[in-house]
Structure 1
């Protein structure tokens, strides 16, 4: 019998929905006792390329790209550090974090393959049909293309 635990990949970005999904996953799957964790945890952040952020800004875009790249690296480092801190606060110390350049949809599906994950957890921004059609939905894409179980964690709406 194999002693290796199955792998769970959690996709994060700098949104509150993403960190809610991570916290929910930690609370429901990772007890404070490492020997009781049913999964090996891998947290993945997809860092967009500078060109995708600048777009077609004309001839001046080339001058701006290095500054955008520096900012994207700072954001990625901040996101990963916040995720590690959340894990530490829940007594989950055995975690792998990765920052991968690319579109989050592809990055997460590739991380599932790379780590042979049995589960992928992602947050949901709760976009309506129109925004989802225009912006694309990472969770929807992963639900259809990742070769594992995909858990979409939605932050409950506050009722007034």
Structure 2
């Protein structure tokens, strides 16, 4: 008899630069991945997903009417890269501090967060999506929409929305 290989569970955690998303990541590690009855954490892949805004369509002229040069574009792209690195480093640190042996993959998407998150979850065949809640009030949520609410409607796997204690 051969050794049966278990399917790896894929848990996607949507992260950004917010305290709420880092709390959701920590909560996921402590409350889902490290559960005593959980199968070996070696059979779980934690996928850190960061969605950066799409690159703006730069006009030939900026607001003041000056030519928007390559230096400005390069500066914005460099800032975006540094932000991604910073968020991923912070998330990786949370994973390492948990002292749980788990596979971690990092994914970076660009575009509308709702579309990118839902598309990535679908493409990866994720078993669960974990997101932090920014807990916007009624008016802000009405204007911006709720990414977590939209993802919960669209994806086919369970969605866990983690509320930060400061928002309770």
Q: Return the TM-score normalized by structure 1.
A: 0.85
- CA shift in 2, pair 1:35/1:118, >3 Å: closer
The aligned residue for residue 131 of structure 2 is 122
Secondary structure of the 1:121 match is strand
Paired residue for 2:163? Answer: 154
1:88 aligned to which of 85, 96, 100: 96
Does the 8 Å CA contact 1:45/1:98 hold for their aligned counterparts?
yes
Aligned counterparts, 1:45-124, within 5 A? 45-51=50-56, 58=63, 60=66, 62-63=68-69, 64-92=72-100, 93-124=102-133
Partners of 1:75 and 1:61 in 2: CA distance: 26
TM-score with structure 2 setting the length? 0.82
Q: Report Cα offsets for 1:46-88 as digits up to 9, x if no partner.
A: 011231899x954558433321111011000110111111101
Contact 2:135 2:167 in 1 (8 A): no
SS at match of 2:166: coil
**1:81-138: CA deviation from partner (whole Å, max 9, x where unpaired):** 1111110111244110111122211111111112100110000001011101112211
Check 1:49–1:106 CA distance in 2 against 1; reply closer, same or farther (3 A cut): same
Report the CA distance shift for 1:153/1:65 in structure 2 as closer, same or farther (over 3 A): same
Query: Any stretches of 5+ residues in structure 1 without a counterpart?
Result: none
What stretches of structure 2 of length at least 5 have no aligned partner? Answer: none
Work out which of the two has the higher radius of gyration on C-alpha atoms and give 1 or 2. Answer: 2
